[in-house]
Amino acid sequence: MKRGIRFSTIFIGFITLWGLALFVGTIQRATSSPILEPEVEMSEQYYSISTEARPKALSIPRLEVDAQVQHVGMARSGRMAVPTNYTDVGWYRYGVSPGQSGNAVFAGHLDNGFGRPGVFNRLQELEVNDDIFITNEDGQRLHFKVMKTEQLSADTFSTSSVFTGDNGAFIKLITCEGQWDSATKTYSERLVITARLIPD
């Protein structure tokens, strides 16, 4: 009888430790910052701080996305910071504002680490000429149309590249794609959507 009780205690202890290990692994995935892994460090002074109206909300009708915009800077790692939750979008506040000449950069999570979709979970469904709307804090609503989509390897992706190479007023939407790598705690690819401003 005692032997049976001892075996049951050991078995329950093993199951408890196994469950705890799975839980910790899930927490580590959920609390990581898997969106942006640029190869180069960024400087707060590298891009001029905009004096124009800041973005407040982002809407993508095709995907039924209506998100609030957080104004993010850099993480301690020197990389672009990500939103603090999985429902908001992050705008890099040291870059240009939407509507200004250049690329206004937005990032959003693919998922929350527990299997629930993040704000940009369906971003890969966007097609050329789909609509994106940015509402600024002063109430101005800007209309953008998707110009191109790119899926890039996380090994070669550089955040700095999304700020250059386009003449005109554009926005860049960035999220993760591909397979989750538990060793690096990030996804294998990055999805970048480029949209151009449509004048009134």
User: Residues 6 or more apart from 28 whose CB is under 8 A from it?
Assistant: 185
Across the range 36-50, mean pLDDT stands at 43
Question: Does some domain include residue 94?
Answer: yes
Please state which of the ranges 51-55, 70-74, 167-171 shows the lowest mean pLDDT: 51-55
Contact 181, 161 (CB under 8 A): no
Place of tokens 């989750």: 180
CATH number at residue 81: 2.40.260.10
User: Which long-range contacts (C-beta less than 8 Å, at least 24 apart) are formed by 91-97?
Assistant: 91/54, 91/55, 92/47, 93/49, 93/50, 93/54, 94/42, 94/44, 94/45, 94/46, 94/47, 94/49, 95/47, 95/50, 95/163, 96/47, 96/48, 96/50, 97/50, 97/52, 97/53, 97/54, 97/55, 97/136
% of the chain with per-residue pLDDT over 90 = 39
Across the range 75-96, mean pLDDT stands at 87
Q: Give pLDDT tens digits for 115-130.
A: 789 999 999 999 999 9
What pLDDT is attached to residue 164?
74
Across the range 142-169, mean pLDDT stands at 79
C-alpha 73: how far from chain center: 13
d(CA 89, CA 107): 6
Quick one: which H or E segment has residue 27? Answer: helix 2-31
Question: Does some domain include residue 176?
Answer: yes
Across the range 87-112, mean pLDDT stands at 91
Q: Give pLDDT tens digits for 173-194.
A: 998 876 766 666 666 678 899 9
d(CA 35, CA 177): 9
**Tally of domains within the chain:** 1
Question: 133 pLDDT band (50/70/90 cuts)?
Answer: very high
Q: Is the pTM of this model over 0.85?
A: no
Question: Does some domain include residue 112?
Answer: yes
What pLDDT is attached to residue 112?
81
Question: Does some domain include residue 5?
Answer: no
User: Residues 6 or more apart from 87 whose CB is under 8 A from it?
Assistant: 67, 68, 118, 119
Question: Does some domain include residue 164?
Answer: yes
Place of tokens 């927490």: 27
The domain of 135 spans 32-197
